[in-house]
Amino acid sequence: MKSARPAGGPKMKKTDALYPPIEPHETGELLVGDGHRVYWEVSGNPEGKPVVFLHGGPGSGTSPWQRRFFDPKVYRIVLFDQRGCGRSTPHASAPDADFRYITTAHLIADIELLRKNLGIEKWQVFGGSWGSALALAYAQAHPDAVTELVLRGIFTLRRVELEWFYEGGAAALFPDLWESFLAPIPVLERSHMIEAYHRRLFDPDPAVHVPAAIAWSTWEAATVTLTPDAAQIGAKSDPEKATAFARIENHFFVHRGWWEEGQLIAGVDVIRHIPTVIVQGRHDVVTPMMTAWDLHCAWPEAEFVVVDDAGHAATEPGTQKALRAATDRFARAAR
């Protein structure tokens, strides 16, 4: 199938810990209702152990390098772009984009529909950042469909998490970068940055929403790694990608994921029996370790791995190694 929006991604170093690049052997568009089509792809072993990759953001879409966390000889690797982003349509950057049908409940339903359409009984669920929140929510809604969970950079959309990164907490570490995040917002509106950004991101005028989207997206890109990654920052400056990313994130954050405060951590009893690995960068400033620690304390049965020389990004070497170790371990168990 043709794609008008090829998914990009960071360039991996020659020393990275992931499997070699592979291409999908099957792609498609899933009609999920409400006028939405969700792009999906399958790579690796067609008869292998199924795993679904849940990307972050929400709104970032998938990239080819994300196939590489999984042994292609063992895993049947499923990637898909969540509603409104990547190669899924309609795109959230469109002036008339309708967000009524882009909610957590819709995404969970899409995952289930994709599983059934691919003829998969159960699968491993792998998710980082927003993907960890969606993975927890999906597993709690459909525990019988999940064989294992691999979670990275734990994010549950609690008020303290959102206020830390978007309302000034992280500014204590990055006051220079925070100035650029503040710039699109008038001084009198800066006490509620998420709401102030919401008004601008959803303004129909590109002269208003595009600069806001780029400022929102580059703030995250500039802080996501332990040391700045110019390639990631540059990628988030693309107007179309930045607009979709910022709008979808902000939309979910304004609604707190449509969850009760602390719901995902409080709900671990439903999934306590599922073998799980939690990987967290010690120096993650986007989704600080406090949330991973709270999840660990509520769920001590899950393996908890702290990467001392990593921030938030899955591209960092220590995090790559920990994530590959987790998928390799579950692959061995499947043999």
Which residues carry out catalysis?
A: 129, 284, 312
Q: Which of 215, 243, 256 is nearest to 85 (CA)?
A: 243
Tokens of 312: 């938030």
Quick one: 122 exposed, middle or buried, by C-beta within 10 A (0-12, 13-18, 19+)? middle
Tokens of 332: 């061995």
3-class DSSP state for residue 276?
A: strand
CA distance 158 to 168: 15
Q: Which of 73, 68, 67, 28 is nearest to 49 (CA)?
A: 73
> HSE on the CB side for 74, CA within 13 Å?
18
Q: What are the b/e assignments for 132-147, b being 16+ CB within 10 Å?
A: bbbbbbbbbbbeebbb
3-class DSSP state for residue 302?
A: coil
Tokens of 19: 């499997």
Q: What are phi and psi of 151, to 5 degrees?
A: -120, 140
Terminal C-alpha separation, the chain: 33
Query: What sign has the CA pseudo-torsion 164, 170, 171, 177?
Result: negative
Angle of helix 239-254 versus helix 206-223 axis, rounded to 10 = 80
Q: Which of 317, 279, 304, 323 is nearest to 153 (CA)?
A: 279
Give the DSSP letter of residue 281: E
